[in-house]
Structure 1
Amino acid sequence: MMRIVIVGGSLAGLFAAGLLRKAGHDVQVYERSRAGLAGRGAGLVPQEEVFVALRALGLDDLATIGVMARERIFLDLDGTITGRVAAPQMQISWDHLYTGLRDVLSTSDYHVGRDAVQAGTEDSTAWVQFEDGTRVTADLVIGADGIGSTVRAAVIGTAQQATYTGYVAWRGLIPESALPDSAAQTLLDRFAFYTGNRSQALGYVVPGPNGELEPGMRRYNWVWYRRADDLQRTLADRTGQVHAFSLAPGQLSEPAKSDLRSAGSAQLPPQFHDALLAEPNPFVQAIFDYETPQMARGRLVLIGDSAFVARPHTAMGVAKAAGDALALTSALDEAPIEAALQRYQRARLRIGHAIVDFGRRLGTFME
């Protein structure tokens, strides 16, 4: 049995924590957010690795609680349906998945408000130092701390930054009952798209906050990809503080909300504009690309967005995280730590590069 510390308590960290605990290891998760991450996500389209990881954890039911879109539709600016594709697809709730994975860990194993500022590896141990000056040691430290990863700098030897792509994803997650009838008739139970000039909106239905699937109890998830040349202005919250990568629900200023709604009136089909207006607290995520040159060093290893940041168009971010967690757990079960980490790196580096490259190609419509 190893003592394993995971820095980052989002889905990548939770997949790894659950799988490694099931393999018999002592796992502690440290999350920088003081309140945890419930309520931070929206909807997602699960891929095969997600189903495999949940099955391994005995949480198959989490993968079955989803809403099926019966077709894909494509809208014109005036709201006319210009195309249809019969492509049934299931969407699940990020929140519901996060909560189900979080419940695998006890409160004493999931530490909130712990912001890692430095990590390192020496001989047969690894360590993490936190903002409050405390330090923990372990047989293995896993960096699951996302795009601004602290552990990454220790693995690759430099504070390498992700590359901003020039656009952001505005997001909303609303009760489906908040949609006006005219919008609901077009959008519900479909995967809808609108592509304009360096702009794209899409939306689909996901389960309610507690996994509700009954019509009227579900939620509508919308995304609007839009250029943002002044990223600092876009990511300034209502107090004026500029955030590095995103603004959570409730952080956007009223003038910024007003500007977004006004832009939507002119640049979105009426159905998507109605969905935007129904969201009282839209949130925003800047879109970045990042590829790590290596995933392991000594007793440190990277998973999820700490290693590779792919654009959301791929719908593979959570699948990539689950795949990393599965591969790392398998490698550690078959070889000593250092050899296992090198085996893991060889397997996942190629996959990570391919997913990021795929995302770049899918995002060319924004250029």
Structure 2
Amino acid sequence: MTHQYGSRTAIVVGASLSGLMTALTLSRTGTRVTMLERSANKSRTGAALPVRDGLLERLTGRRQTGGTAVVPSGAQAWADVHAALRATVLTDPRIRLRAPVTVTSVGEDEQSAWARTGTGETLRATLLVGADGHGSVVRPHVSPEAPRATFSGYVIWLGLVGEASIASRPWPCDLAILYEEDYCLNAYYLPGADGSTSPGRRRIGWGWYDAGHNDLLRTSEAVVGDVVRRTLRPERMPDTLFEELADTARRLWPAPWREAILHGLSERAVIGTPIGEYLPNRLATERVCLVGDAAHLPSPMTGSGFAASSEDALALAEALELHGSVSEALRSYESTRLQPARRLVRSGQSFSHSFAPYGAAQ
């Protein structure tokens, strides 16, 4: 069944970063997109993204007007990039975003792909894209032999603090990667909530890699067996954990990162994300494909997960523009993106194996 340019429809499962970028590139090809997102709100405290110059123009194929970029380049807060992409999606007449909607299963036949929701609704489209992250519901359909990302044996504690909240002298550069004892700290300056990059008006984000609290991850069921189930939120963290992390921060980390971490801990403005990784063997079937963390989940230590997700979105749109049938386009997409995705994940696994060689054991 061949669809002419402009008559194609798509379901995108997931409206995180990869889903939003994919919806924008699909719209650029004339595809009408329905996005299904299970969460009403998205947040990721402290996480930072390296954003390439002109990202939104590449995704939409349209030149930006005005002097200020909708998605500024450089190091940006995850939440800010997500908000900017979501706002762009909401103004696109070809994209419909539905949330909260839980997708329970997906499938396909020769005519269409479909998603079934928790309310019993079935939606059909020309193709379906799984952009639903590390615990993807779509991945088992594409790779039933390897459906799950696996826990890598460590957690990253994430926080974000206004620079004005602390009194320390600024660090001489915008990024620090520090190793002490069994820990690794990535700390960085991000633009302030108003976009300011002036010292004193920025934000400080930090990601603290820790392989010493796997028992807590398991007792809280953030990790079950070898599978990451959820992020550890402050309400599930015992007071003793905050105290222990604060004592360690005082002992190991220099200013201003130490003060930023202590402020975040005192405010309970910290989350713990267990690190999972997924090395793909496939990215697509005839009518269903994967993008972003659903397709390839690297350690965040690579610093390239967001860039890889944007390349997925762009490659998928380009394949659909070049090929008349969805199945041909998805084969081309997989051919383009599978090996780069595998190289990225393997580079992160090298760090994981050295940082937590025994940490994933139950």
Q: TM-score range by the shorter chain?
A: 0.7 to 0.9
Supply the distance in 2 between the matched residues of 1:291 and 1:59 (Cα, whole angstroms): 36
Supply the distance in 2 between the matched residues of 1:231 and 1:353 (Cα, whole angstroms): 30
- Within 5 Å, which residues of 2 pair with 1:140-179? 140-158=127-145, 160-179=147-166
Within the candidate set 285, 293, 300, 2:288 is matched to: 300
Report what 2:4 is aligned to.
Answer: none
Supply the distance in 1 between the matched residues of 2:219 and 2:207 (Cα, whole angstroms): 16
Report what 2:49 is aligned to.
Answer: 44
Report what 1:354 is aligned to.
Answer: 343
Question: Does the CA contact (< 8 Å) of 2:47 and 2:207 recur in 1?
Answer: no
Gaps of 5+ in 1: 67-89
Post-superposition Cα deviations, 1:201-244, rounded to whole Å, max 9, x if no partner, equal 1211111234333433321111111113325347568xxxx971
Pick which of 211-220 and 315-324 moved more.
211-220
Change in 2 beyond 3 A, CA 1:219/1:294: same
Report what 2:183 is aligned to.
Answer: 199
Within the candidate set 113, 117, 128, 2:104 is matched to: 117
- How far has the Cα of 1:55 moved from its partner? 7.1
1:11 corresponds to 2:17:
yes
1:316 corresponds to 2:266:
no
Report what 1:289 is aligned to.
Answer: 277
Report what 2:58 is aligned to.
Answer: 53
Change in 2 beyond 3 A, CA 1:52/1:364: farther
Supply the distance in 2 between the matched residues of 1:49 and 1:358 (Cα, whole angstroms): 27
1:259 corresponds to 2:244:
yes
Pick which of 353-362 and 253-262 moved more.
253-262
Change in 2 beyond 3 A, CA 1:139/1:16: same
Within the candidate set 345, 353, 356, 2:334 is matched to: 345
Question: Does the CA contact (< 8 Å) of 1:169 and 1:286 recur in 2?
Answer: yes
Supply the distance in 2 between the matched residues of 1:195 and 1:234 (Cα, whole angstroms): 27
1:229 corresponds to 2:214:
yes
Counterpart of 1:7, as a letter, is: V
Supply the distance in 2 between the matched residues of 1:302 and 1:174 (Cα, whole angstroms): 34
1:65 corresponds to 2:72:
yes
Supply the distance in 2 between the matched residues of 1:202 and 1:340 (Cα, whole angstroms): 39
Question: Does the CA contact (< 8 Å) of 2:37 and 2:100 recur in 1?
Answer: yes
Change in 2 beyond 3 A, CA 1:268/1:215: closer
Supply the distance in 1 between the matched residues of 2:34 and 2:251 (Cα, whole angstroms): 49
Question: Does the CA contact (< 8 Å) of 2:220 and 2:236 recur in 1?
Answer: no
Gaps of 5+ in 2: 1-6, 357-362
Within the candidate set 316, 320, 331, 1:328 is matched to: 316
Identity %: 28
Post-superposition Cα deviations, 1:139-193, rounded to whole Å, max 9, x if no partner, equal 1110000100000111112562212111111111010112222xx33x2643112
Supply the distance in 2 between the matched residues of 1:271 and 1:287 (Cα, whole angstroms): 26
Supply the distance in 2 between the matched residues of 1:46 and 1:178 (Cα, whole angstroms): 26
Change in 2 beyond 3 A, CA 1:57/1:147: farther
Change in 2 beyond 3 A, CA 1:266/1:215: closer
Change in 2 beyond 3 A, CA 1:18/1:221: same
Supply the distance in 1 between the matched residues of 2:63 and 2:342 (Cα, whole angstroms): 30
Supply the distance in 1 between the matched residues of 2:146 and 2:101 (Cα, whole angstroms): 20
Change in 2 beyond 3 A, CA 1:234/1:200: farther
Question: Does the CA contact (< 8 Å) of 2:55 and 2:71 recur in 1?
Answer: no
Question: Does the CA contact (< 8 Å) of 1:201 and 1:222 recur in 2?
Answer: yes
- Within 5 Å, which residues of 2 pair with 1:202-213? 202-213=186-197
